[in-house]
Amino acid sequence: MAAGRFIRAVYSRAAGSRALRRPLGAVRSNPRVRAFARRHVEVLLAPGTTWANVDGALRLLAEDSQQQIVFGPWRGDATTELLYWAPFVGWAQEHFGLTPAADRSGAGVFPSEPVVALVEQYRSGAAPPRPLLKRARYERLARPKAARGVPDRYIAVGVGSPVRIADPVVAIDAAQSPETQHAVIAGATGLVAPWSHLVLLGVLSGIPTVAVRSAGDGALEPDLDLAARIAGELGVPLTVLDDVQLETLASALGGTSG
């Protein structure tokens, strides 16, 4: 649409021409233009957007202190959400002073797709980590209510992990709600699980965690590197093992693998 092309030109190309930089800058700073741009912020976030455009869109939304913001919806998997999307949302809310909204009615919307596209550039090795990392806020999760029916001391084990540990253990499986999974992990003395969002819940809950990699689990090196970086920043032990190393692990824990 014509309005969309206009906004895109003003906000994405103002710095591209010395001759146009000053007049376009004047147009871009006009309050009416900025109010119009806030109503069409999705144009800045069209396919092919950059981190600079993401920042510009957030800055526009932040200019209206009365406007609440809805981030999302998120349509990806839980692992990617914990590694990338939730830390980005936390950073954006803090950095730009954005007020989150519970529903979309009357709220500004910041979609997840543009950020996901930029994250995928990093995950594919086509982009450096620094722009992504400077727009992420990692912190320990608030401790949930204690899980019911678990021992006083136990190791949490993700169902599907090819290691069997001597009791006491508490199993976690996909049928449990995220809240229950979090509660079980947060109350454990340690966690052993296949590479998944369970590993990230362990790290973000401050629980010493062993992540087990296996062939075909879809684990990407950039994801594993980022998880290790987060664990280091939070001071949480994280060990990543291939399934061929589990015999040694199981022996040390008093159990078996296989």
Looking at the structure, tell me whether residues 172 and 245 fall in a common domain.
yes
Domain count, the chain: 2
Element (H, E) at 239: strand 238-242
Domain assignment present for 138:
no
Q: Rounded to the nearest 10 degrees, what angle do helices 18-29 and 2-13 cross at?
A: 120
Q: Phi/psi at 238 (nearest 5 deg)?
A: -135, 125
What is the spatial distance between Cα 45 and Cα 179, in angstroms, rounded to a whole number?
32
CATH number at residue 174: 3.40.50
Looking at the structure, tell me whether residues 6 and 127 fall in a common domain.
yes
Domain assignment present for 149:
no
What is the spatial distance between Cα 67 and Cα 73, in angstroms, rounded to a whole number?
18
Q: C-alpha angle 207/243/123, rounded to 5°?
A: 70
Looking at the structure, tell me whether residues 187 and 76 fall in a common domain.
no
Looking at the structure, tell me whether residues 123 and 241 fall in a common domain.
no
Looking at the structure, tell me whether residues 102 and 214 fall in a common domain.
no
What is the predicted pLDDT for the residue at 251?
Answer: 65
Q: Which DSSP string corresponds to 38-51?
A: HHTGGGTTSTT--H
Answer with the one of 78, 98, 133 that is the final residue of a domain: 133
Domain assignment present for 39:
yes
Looking at the structure, tell me whether residues 19 and 99 fall in a common domain.
yes
Find the domain containing 37 and state its range. 2-133
Closest by Cα among 172, 131, 167, 135 to 152: 167
Domain assignment present for 107:
yes
Domain assignment present for 172:
yes
- Mapping DSSP to helix (H, G, I), strand (E, B) and coil, where does residue 63 land? coil
Looking at the structure, tell me whether residues 10 and 122 fall in a common domain.
yes
Looking at the structure, tell me whether residues 199 and 118 fall in a common domain.
no
What is the predicted pLDDT for the residue at 27?
Answer: 46
pLDDT tens-place values along the chain, 258 residues long: 455 555 555 555 554 556 545 554 544 565 555 565 566 677 778 878 899 989 988 988 888 877 788 998 999 999 999 999 999 999 999 999 988 887 777 677 889 999 999 999 999 999 999 999 999 999 999 999 999 999 999 999 986 665 566 668 899 988 899 999 999 999 999 999 999 999 999 999 999 999 998 877 788 999 999 999 999 999 999 999 887 776 666 666 665 555
Residue 196 Cα distances to 191, 202, 217, angstroms: 12, 10, 9
- C-alpha 84: how far from its chain's center? 2
Beta strands of 118-160 (E only): which ranges?
Answer: 155-158
Strand partners of residue 99: 68
What is the spatial distance between Cα 150 and Cα 152, in angstroms, rounded to a whole number?
7
Looking at the structure, tell me whether residues 170 and 123 fall in a common domain.
no
Looking at the structure, tell me whether residues 120 and 9 fall in a common domain.
yes
What is the spatial distance between Cα 60 and Cα 11, in angstroms, rounded to a whole number?
11
